[in-house]
């Protein structure tokens, strides 16, 4: 059975697009350098925040290779390998292996809404047909499938399953995951707002969105999470303010707008998402100003 030693902060990189809609590879490399400089212990290429659903297969494969080559073994690179068709998931896994990725972040089948028996069959099929170490991705809001702790425990027996990203937002579920599978799988949460309680119950890491915007803030929040430091409350307030920015529009478009307003431009989103409307941009600007978030982006 495969094992991984992943832990800490793994930001899911946005995919920067130029004015013509093409991938801005220079900016992408800068994001990787910034993430590592700000204490990331891994990065995720072409995940949800990277708009995997709007990328061609060739673009995803290119991002996997670009991230691995530029990270140059400084940190592990995980590939977002979710897709609609099972064959396309396996093709993404093959691209990740060819690029040298350390693993793949994988949702259960999208849209089909399979039963638990069918979910197990899906992951078993993927595991049999690729050597890529897999991080399961529980995102019930988007996938409409719940990877419960009991189901994850069953899936942990698969030879290539090494980790779980839980975006349920439920700390009781995270705690149960740690208790059930924490000795075999690396347990990550999907929101930086959950760092303190997740670390308290023994989670190993966070698959991060805000780190690439305010890396010093997220790194400090992670490091101080178990310290009882009086500064933790202020740090947590700023982390929550960043997440309020993201909620001002469609999540991935709002992340890019927040980055832009904080001087870390990554272009706009691709369809089906649109750049934020003026009132949404104004809402983000107010949150940034009220919380003083600019100091974290410039650190």
* 49 labelled binding-site residue: yes
- Give the pairing of strands 77-80 and 103-106: parallel
Neighbours of 116 (CB within 10 A): 15
Q: Given 165, 224, 256, 281, which residue is catalytic?
A: 165
165 is catalytic: yes
H or E, element range at 8: strand 8-11
* 141 vs 120: CA distance, rounded Å: 19
Alpha-carbon radius of gyration of the chain: 18
Buried b (16+ CB within 10 A) or exposed e, 225-245: beeeeeebeebbebbebbbbb
* 258 labelled binding-site residue: no
With a CB cutoff of 8 Å and minimum separation 6, the contacts of 45 are 13, 63, 64, 66, 67, 77, 78, 79, 80, 101
Instruction: Give the count of alpha carbons within 13 A of 201, CB side only.
Output: 21
- Give the pairing of strands 134-138 and 161-166: parallel
Q: Given 28, 65, 137, 256, which residue is catalytic?
A: 137
53 is catalytic: no
> What does the DSSP assignment read for 21-90?
SSB-HHHHHHHHHHHHHTT-S-EEESSTTTTGGGS-HHHHHHHHHHHHHHHTTSS-EEEE---SSHHHHH
Beta strands in 155-201 (DSSP E): 161-166, 186-189
H or E, element range at 11: strand 8-11
- What are the binding residues for pyruvate? 49, 207
* Binding-site residues from annotation: 49, 207
Active site residues: 137, 165
């Amino acid at each position: 059975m495969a094992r991984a030693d992943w832990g800490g902060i793994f930001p899911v990189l946005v995919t920067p697009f130029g004015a013509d809609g093409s991938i801005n590879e220079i900016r992408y490399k800068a994001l990787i350098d910034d993430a590592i400089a700000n204490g990331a212990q891994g990065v995720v290429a072409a995940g949800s925040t990277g708009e995997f659903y709007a990328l061609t297969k060739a673009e995803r494969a290119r991002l996997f290779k670009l991230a691995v080559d530029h990270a140059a073994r400084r940190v592990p690179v995980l590939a977002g390998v979710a897709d609609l068709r099972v064959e396309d998931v396996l093709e993404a896994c093959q691209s990740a292996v060819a690029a040298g990725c350390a693993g793949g972040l994988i949702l259960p089948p999208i849209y089909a809404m399979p039963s638990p028996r069918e979910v197990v069959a899906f992951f078993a099929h993927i595991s049999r047909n690729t050597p890529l170490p897999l991080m399961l991705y529980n995102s019930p809001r988007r996938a409409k499938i719940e990877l419960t702790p009991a189901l994850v425990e069953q899936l942990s027996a698969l030879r290539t399953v090494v980790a779980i990203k839980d975006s349920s937002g439920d700390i009781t579920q995270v705690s149960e995951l740690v208790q059930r599978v924490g000795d075999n799988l690396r347990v990550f949460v999907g929101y930086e707002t959950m760092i303190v309680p997740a670390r308290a119950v023994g989670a190993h890491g966070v698959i991060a969105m805000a780190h690439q915007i305010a890396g010093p803030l997220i790194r400090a929040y992670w490091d101080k999470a178990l310290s009882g430091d009086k500064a933790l409350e202020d740090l947590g307030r700023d982390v929550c303010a960043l997440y309020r920015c993201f909620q001002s529009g469609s999540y991935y478009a709002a992340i890019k707008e927040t980055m832009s307003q904080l001087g870390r431009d990554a272009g706009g989103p691709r369809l089906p998402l649109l750049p934020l409307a003026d009132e949404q941009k104004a809402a983000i600007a107010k949150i940034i100003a009220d919380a003083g978030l600019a100091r974290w982006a410039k650190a």
